């Protein structure tokens, strides 16, 4: 079994203040979670790939920001823990809650392969 290193508390604290979006791919299992700072700074976690992401800024204009992209399997531990951080961004809280709900559905056998 392939094991992924657990995110450290400092990594979780930093990424919990970021915004996050799901970046779909084909096939779907290769989708990623992109973490980006609304202030434009680059997330310092180096466990993923840095790339540029186009988002809508506060002034409703497109903005290109640096983003840390993690495979979903690597982002899950961060999301499920970061949603409970006091100053977590609304996006992290949402994706963390969605991740926990998905894991509960899998655990109850309510998701079928294919």
Span 9-23, pLDDT tens digits: 788 888 888 999 999
Pick out the chain residues at pLDDT < 70.
1-6, 45-47, 114
What is the predicted pLDDT for the residue at 41?
Answer: 80
What is the predicted pLDDT for the residue at 4?
Answer: 58
What is the predicted pLDDT for the residue at 86?
Answer: 86
pTM over 0.85: no
The alpha-helical segments, DSSP class H, found in the chain are: 9-16, 72-82, 90-107
């Amino acid at each position: 079994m392939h094991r992924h290193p657990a995110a450290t508390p400092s990594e979780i604290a930093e990424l919990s203040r970021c915004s996050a979006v799901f970046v779909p791919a084909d096939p779907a299992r290769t989708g990623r979670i992109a973490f980006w700072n609304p202030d434009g700074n680059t997330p310092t976690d180096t466990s993923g790939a840095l790339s540029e992401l186009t988002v809508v800024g506060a002034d409703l204009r497109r903005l290109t920001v640096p983003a840390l992209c993690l495979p979903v399997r690597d982002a899950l531990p961060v999301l499920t823990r970061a949603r409970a951080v006091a100053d977590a961004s609304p996006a992290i809280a949402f994706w963390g809650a969605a991740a926990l709900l998905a894991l509960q559905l899998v655990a109850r056998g309510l998701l079928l392969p294919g």
